[in-house]
Structure 1
Amino acid sequence: MIRNPEQTIGKLADHVSDVVCSFIDDQGYPETWTLPQACRREGICRFWFEVEAAAFSFPGIDQRPASLYFMDQRFYRGVCLKGWLTIIGVQEDLLPKRTEVSREKRELEESGKIRILFTAKSGRYYSHFQSSDFIVQ
């Protein structure tokens, strides 16, 4: 049983370099992507990712059930979060609070990057060949 999910999973999410994101497409096949580390997170409930638009095809993933998997290979543990994937594009409130927000927003649009929001509802923590479920609050 995981004692403090937000702290344990938050540390794990902050230290992994790649995140595995999966969902089921319209034809019933699994789609899996490797995403970079989250550029921002709110606890373990919301994760924002910034990805190259040219590297991924995004048809039909908006408001789709999905899962994120964070894995620590060194200690053979990980967490799978279930929730929803939403394409949000570029929004000023997600950018760092600086005086040059408009310049950074313009650079993001010119670079062809898209922001994706993952909102978690529940999860499963894997450690020592055991797993425990939890609800994200």
Structure 2
Amino acid sequence: MRNPGQTIGNLIDKSNMTIISYTDNEGFPISKAMLSPRERESIKIFWFSTNTSSNKVRYFRENPKASIYFVDKRFSRGASLVGTIGVLETQEAKEKLWQEGDTMYYKQGITDPDYCVLKFTAKRGRYYSNFKSEDFDT
């Protein structure tokens, strides 16, 4: 892969779902489907909105190690990124990601205490395509 940022970025932009994985307090991996990132900075930093009361937020506060996975079913391609997640509850972070219609999830609006932002910072990744996998740096 000549340009991981472009290749993986295109895959991410076409994906409408992200699989996010974390570990519970017994060390077991848990994976969950989420909407695509609200924003991203290349293939290094990803921003998601979620419920503060969710299990993943509780576990990320205890252990910030995580992975995210994007898949293109049509062409049997995928990209996995490993890194860390920060749970952000600042007004600035919430405003950064807030979108019209989010009151469907967060009834009290942008100040809803059940609304927070996850900031994923990738350390490295692995790309799968054409029956081959290759590691890449972010």
TM-score normalised to the size of structure 2?
0.81
Residue type of the alignment partner of 2:120: F
Offset from partner CA, 1:102-136 (integer Å, 9 cap, x none): xxxx8322383211010001000000110000111
| 3-state SS of paired residue (2:122) | strand
Moved more, 61-70 or 37-46: 61-70
* Matching of residue 85 in structure 1 with residue 71 in structure 2: no
CA contact (8 A) 1:41 1:47 kept: yes
Q: Alpha carbons of 1:115 and 1:93: their partners in 2 closer, same or farther (altered >3 Å)?
A: closer
Match of 1:40 in 2: 39
Identical pairs, percent: 36
Task: Tell me which of 124, 127, 130 is aligned to 1:128.
Answer: 130
TM-score normalised to the size of structure 1?
0.82
Residue type of the alignment partner of 1:33: K
Instruction: List structure 1 segments (4+ residues) > 4 angstroms apart after TM superposition.
Output: none
Q: Alpha carbons of 1:95 and 1:81: their partners in 2 closer, same or farther (altered >3 Å)?
A: same
CA contact (8 A) 2:94 2:116 kept: no
Match of 1:73 in 2: 73
| 3-state SS of paired residue (2:18) | strand
Consecutive unaligned residues in structure 2, runs of 5 or more: 97-107
* Matching of residue 107 in structure 1 with residue 106 in structure 2: no
Match of 1:8 in 2: 7
RMSD: 2.1
CA contact (8 A) 1:23 1:32 kept: yes
Match of 1:102 in 2: none
CA drift at 1:90:
3.9
Residue type of the alignment partner of 1:113: Y
Q: Alpha carbons of 1:111 and 1:36: their partners in 2 closer, same or farther (altered >3 Å)?
A: farther
Q: Name the structure with the higher helix share.
A: 2
Q: Alpha carbons of 1:108 and 1:7: their partners in 2 closer, same or farther (altered >3 Å)?
A: same
